[in-house]
């Protein structure tokens, strides 16, 4: 009789916020992302038989995994092949606080926590580069041709400056940022949004190119504002970035509505975050107290969930 030890491993990953530069980053422009303290935990146990999944989306054997989780399956297959382990004898449980499909990078975070747990279970060393390439297998299923910003931002514990195929630069924040995140409650559709920008680029090249170039300028200025602690300039840049995202066609009425609410509450800046067409928006407050006021208003104005935090303490609050 075959025996399998009952060893287990638990690993976590955090989500991310794209502060400025989403979509343009797909075209090689820079973007800035910061860690967002919503987390996913993955527990992997050795257990005889086919690989079994337990999660809020799907519970059952891996060969019956739903199409939207195919990327996770491919990522596990490749990780096990690399670790020289059979594709069996595992029980994988996913506990995630990160809402799915809301531009917060849930798919990359799940894949990161799974790959980390598998390497920990098999007591093998995992470099950041290898973690990135394994997670990108899942991301390619989820997003088509991802820029890689989600994975890099979620592997990092610091804000990052990201540009495809260039060195990742950790950013220092000159003064704490007080950030509110509101969820429209509707799944964002990154795949469709990225596709729409591509189609628009083909039909209105000059206009879209202009927006992409403007976003790149905004991101450059945002880096300076972050380093210098100039939250007023940063806020203004967030609003300007949102105008360009509207031109690219990736915002929608509900996101625009929540952004207007934040502006009316005196937010220094606000924009959608992530792929758009649903999903989440973020706003910049003057202080933690101000962030709480904005958060309450967003909650009362139809957001399905709202969080706020300071980049200094990285603790997540919800409005009461």
Q: Which of 95, 150, 183, 260 is catalytic?
A: 150
Structure tokens at 254: 């509900």
Alpha-carbon span 80 to 76, nearest angstrom: 6
Site for ligand PMV, residues 94 to 133, rule: CB under 6 A: 103, 105
Q: By the 8 A CB rule, do 317 and 307 touch?
A: yes
> Taking CB under 6 A as the rule, does residue 22 contact ligand PMV?
yes
190 lines the binding site for ligand PMV (CB under 6 A): yes
Report if residue 242 touches ligand PMV, rule: CB under 6 A: no
Residue 51 tokens, joined: 């690989």
Residues 252-291 that bind ligand PMV (CB under 6 A): 274-275
Per-residue DSSP letters for 175-217? Answer: S--EEEEEE-SS---HHHHHHHHHHHHHHSHHHHHHHHHHHHH
Which residues lie across from 13 on neighbouring strands?
A: 40
Stretch binding ligand PMV (CB under 6 A), from 23-31, 128-136, 206-214, 258-266? 23-31
Stretch that binds ligand PMV, among 81-89, 143-151, 176-184, 290-298 (CB under 6 A): 143-151
Q: Give the interface segment with ligand PMV, choosing from 55-63, 145-153, 222-230, 259-267 (CB under 6 A).
A: 145-153
CA distances from residue 119 to 51, 93, 254 in whole angstroms, order as listed: 16, 15, 41
150 is catalytic: yes
List active site positions.
150
Contacts with ligand PMV by CB under 6 A lie at 18, 22-23, 25-26, 103, 105, 143, 146-147, 149-150, 188, 190, 194, 274-275
């Amino acid at each position: 009789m075959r025996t399998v030890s009952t060893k287990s491993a638990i690993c976590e990953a955090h989500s991310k916020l794209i502060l400025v530069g989403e979509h343009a980053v797909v075209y090689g422009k820079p973007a800035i992302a910061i860690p967002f303290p919503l987390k996913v935990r993955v527990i992997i146990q050795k257990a005889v038989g086919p690989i079994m999944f337990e999660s809020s989306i799907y519970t059952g054997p891996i060969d019956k995994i739903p199409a939207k989780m195919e990327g996770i399956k491919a990522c596990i297959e490749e990780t096990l092949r690399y670790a020289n382990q059979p594709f069996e004898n595992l029980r994988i449980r996913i506990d995630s606080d990160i809402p799915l499909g809301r531009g917060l990078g849930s798919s990359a975070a799940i894949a990161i926590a799974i790959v980390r747990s598998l390497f920990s279970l098999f007591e093998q060393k995992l470099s950041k580069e290898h973690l990135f390439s394994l997670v990108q297998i899942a991301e390619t299923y989820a997003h088509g041709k991802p820029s890689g910003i989600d994975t890099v931002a979620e592997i990092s514990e610091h804000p990052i400056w990201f540009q495809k195929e260039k060195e990742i630069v950790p950013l220092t924040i000159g003064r704490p940022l007080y950030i509110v995140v509101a969820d429209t409650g509707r799944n964002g559709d990154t795949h469709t949004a990225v596709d729409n920008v591509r189609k628009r680029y083909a039909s209105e090249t000059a206009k879209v190119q202009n927006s992409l170039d403007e976003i790149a300028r905004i991101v450059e200025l945002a880096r300076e504002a972050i380093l210098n602690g100039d939250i007023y300039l940063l806020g203004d840049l967030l609003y300007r970035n949102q105008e360009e995202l509207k031109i690219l066609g990736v915002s929608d009425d509900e996101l625009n509505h929540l952004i207007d609410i934040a502006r009316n509450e005196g937010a220094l800046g606000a924009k959608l975050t992530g792929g758009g067409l649903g999903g989440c928006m973020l706003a910049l407050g003057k202080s933690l107290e101000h962030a709480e006021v904005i958060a309450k208003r967003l909650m009362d104005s139809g957001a399905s969930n709202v969080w706020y935090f300071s980049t200094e303490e990285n603790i997540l609050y919800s409005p009461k």
